[in-house]
Amino acid sequence: MKRFLLCIVFVTMIVNINAQTYYGAGGQIPDDGTPISFAINVSNLNPGILDTIHGLAMVTVNLIHPYDSDLQFSLVDPNGDRVMLTYANGWDGDNYMNTHFTDTASIYILQGNPPFTGYFRPQEIMGNMNDGRNGNGIWNLSILDMYAFADQGTLINWSITFGNDPSGPFVFESSNLPIVLINTEGQDIPDESKIQVGMKIIDNGPGNRNYVTDTPVYDDYAGIEIRGSSSQMFPKKSYGFETWDMMGNEQKVSLLGMPEETDWILNANYTDKTLIRNTMAYQTFANLDNYATRCKYVEMTINDMYKGIYILTEKIKRDSSRVNVAKLKPDQNSGDELTGGYIFKIDKATGGGGDGWVSDFPPPNHNNGQTIYFQYEVPKSTDITSAQQNYVQNYVRTFENVLSGPDFDDPQFGFRQFAVEGTFIDYMIVNEVSKNVDGYRLSTFIHKQRESLGGKLRMGPVWDYDIAWHNSNYCGGPDFTGWAYQFPCADDFWQIPFWWDRMLEDDQFANNLKCRWLEKRETVLNNVWFDQYIDSVANLLQESQQRNFQVWPILGVYVWPNPEPIPPTYDAEIASLKDWMHSRLEWIDNNIPGTCNNVGIVDLNKIQPLYAIYPNPAIDFINIELAGKADVIKIDCINQLGLSISLNDYSISSGENTIVQMNTEQLMNGIWMARIKTDKNTFQGKFVKVK
């Protein structure tokens, strides 16, 4: 026994002899969102080169603060490279006392509790610093109090320790996914505005492995910034970027096979441990024949530091390959040009939000003075003219006035004269099948085409579903029962417009909703499709998710707003999502309102903008715009009295739009149904004939 104790003392003495600790003073932490750095001058470090033999081993912090989740702090080396130690942890707990950050700890900082006394793995891997760099120089503890709520904090002191056998850098060499490499040249990526960085994208094509040393398919510059609202509370950041040339000018490029553009998103999906929820929402909306954001899974590094799995997506913007509405220029302030195209949204003012207007109609729950706020997206709030503001505001105001009025469900004079009903139905289906707790009230995009091109309000594209599909623990989010549009949290500041309750008071809307559900439930909304989609993505990510959760070890750990119980593994996360999905689909089957007697007939008003009838109302003529595979079609028009007018046969060319123009001068005033027949399908759409 004595020999054993002597050995322990001997080993401890060796470790203490070889460890070198440097101490730094403290000071007051600003409470105004300004970061502050506390320096330590590391000199005479022996050996001076940091590696896995002798390198950075531990950082110790003593800090007083009455609200720990306000804080983030990082270790910054003499070159300006940084490692995040903790980010928004501890909720409303107090202080960090004798908190030792070391990669060898058994407890992740996210699992600790204030005052975090003891040993914890930091938010990022400190061993990334042990890569052969020189450790001598000025090291800084950078602290940021992110919220200005008069809860002043003070750093008492801190220290940095170098020792034997520390952890090493996380090694990332290759992936089955495309790889994005970002070099900031020592700059921190800000919340705004964008900084210029070098960017490489490596993609050797489907089935081929990608190595960080391979020749990139994109090797140029980008302007990048942090993006998001609530997601900014997470240490794994999402980014928005533009593809730039050397001079900082935007340049359109095709990334990973997606159509050319300049604006892109790198979505972190930190709280969604399946990494599937957003892409599944986009694909579901696309399966309903709508434009949805295209995306590709990638793995990413910043300054050679591995950051995990990201989803490189298109940003929602006006483009013929994205939201296909007419371009509205500042000098277009009258006539048909003024009528479109517009993109606006219901969202928080943070996270890219800008100017807009308040609806005249409060949400159903407004006991605390809640309102619905529309924000300009396209044109941007900095570009939109007063005439354009007035037009889009008045159009939406008229739509809401009619929708709230006594004749809102009138086929000719009701809300349908201002809105494409089918897009509202499809948007509702995606929000309800996912039980999106933020649905309808946040990240809700709406667009309007120019009147000569169809006009009317259309819902979408869908956006931001990482806390949908059973990934939120509040406001009914965990339950597979109940409707998302009946948001149960009356005290929440962000509420849902009255639109959805009101539309469901219209029997025809409810019937059309049910028909759409039953039609698509047989194919792209059935259990088999969802299971296959989830399994296919999980299989694609089976390798890369292991790296992701090694760097971000959150499996089995609560991350806001994960519902209980928290699955302990990635496979368990996938199984939990599928189980909930099956229950949700069955519940909707049993509870969806309406009656359907015409499953199999596709309504033109419900599908993509390439199928359109305009102008509507019509005076002298209508255009029926069609697209699809090469086919021969027959068109006839029927009014409410049963009067039928047949047109000639027409040919559709594959991949090209065909516009059939019909003279309506001799038609009776009223509602007409245009019916288009092919060998396999029947499409129909309403239009109104007026003088």
Which pairs with CB-CB distance under 8 Å and at least 24 residues apart come from 629-633? Answer: 629/654, 630/654, 631/678, 631/679, 632/678, 632/679, 633/676, 633/677, 633/678
Q: What is the pLDDT of residue 4?
A: 30
DSSP secondary structure of 468-481:
TTT---STTTT-SS
CB 670 within 8 A of CB 689: yes
* Each residue's pLDDT tens digit, 585-602: 999 999 999 999 864 445
The H or E element that residue 142 is part of is strand 137-145
| Phi/psi of residue 277, nearest 5 degrees | -60, -45
**457-459 and 602-603 strand pairing:** unpaired
Cα–Cα distance between 482 and 219 in angstroms, integer?
49
Which residue ranges of the chain lie beneath pLDDT 50? 1-17, 351, 599-601, 604, 606-610
Cα–Cα distance between 211 and 639 in angstroms, integer?
63
Report how far apart, in Å, the C-alpha atoms of 555 and of each of 540, 548, 565 are.
18, 10, 12
Cα–Cα distance between 501 and 408 in angstroms, integer?
12
Cα–Cα distance between 211 and 568 in angstroms, integer?
30
CB 348 within 8 A of CB 442: yes
Cα–Cα distance between 691 and 686 in angstroms, integer?
17
In one-letter notation, the amino acid at residue 435 is K
Q: What is the pLDDT of residue 653?
A: 61
* Each residue's pLDDT tens digit, 183-210: 999 898 998 899 999 999 999 999 999 9
Cα–Cα distance between 668 and 332 in angstroms, integer?
35
**118-120 and 137-145 strand pairing:** unpaired
Cα–Cα distance between 290 and 184 in angstroms, integer?
37
Torsion (CA) 402, 406, 407, 409 in degrees, nearest 10: 90
Q: What is the pLDDT of residue 16?
A: 39
**29: helix, strand or coil:** strand
Q: What is the pLDDT of residue 681?
A: 65
Residues in contact with 554: Cβ distance below 8 Å, sequence separation at least 6, in sequence order: 108, 110, 270, 273
* Each residue's pLDDT tens digit, 655-665: 556 677 778 87
In the DSSP assignment, the letter for residue 189 is P
Question: From the centroid of its chain, how far is CA 423?
Answer: 20
| Phi/psi of residue 573, nearest 5 degrees | -60, -45
In the DSSP assignment, the letter for residue 170 is P
Task: For residue 245, give both structure tokens.
Answer: 């040339």
**17: helix, strand or coil:** helix
Q: What is the pLDDT of residue 8?
A: 28
Q: What share of the chain is helix, strand, coil (3-state, %, to 5)?
A: 20, 30, 50
Q: What is the pLDDT of residue 131?
A: 95
Q: What is the pLDDT of residue 669?
A: 75
Q: What is the pLDDT of residue 634?
A: 77
- Residues composing the chain: 691
Question: From the centroid of its chain, how far is CA 159?
Answer: 39
Domains of the chain: 17-164 (2.60.120.260), 174-314 (no CATH), 336-591 (no CATH), 610-689 (2.60.40.1930)
Cα–Cα distance between 450 and 339 in angstroms, integer?
5
Q: What is the pLDDT of residue 610?
A: 41
The H or E element that residue 101 is part of is strand 96-101
Q: What is the pLDDT of residue 657?
A: 62
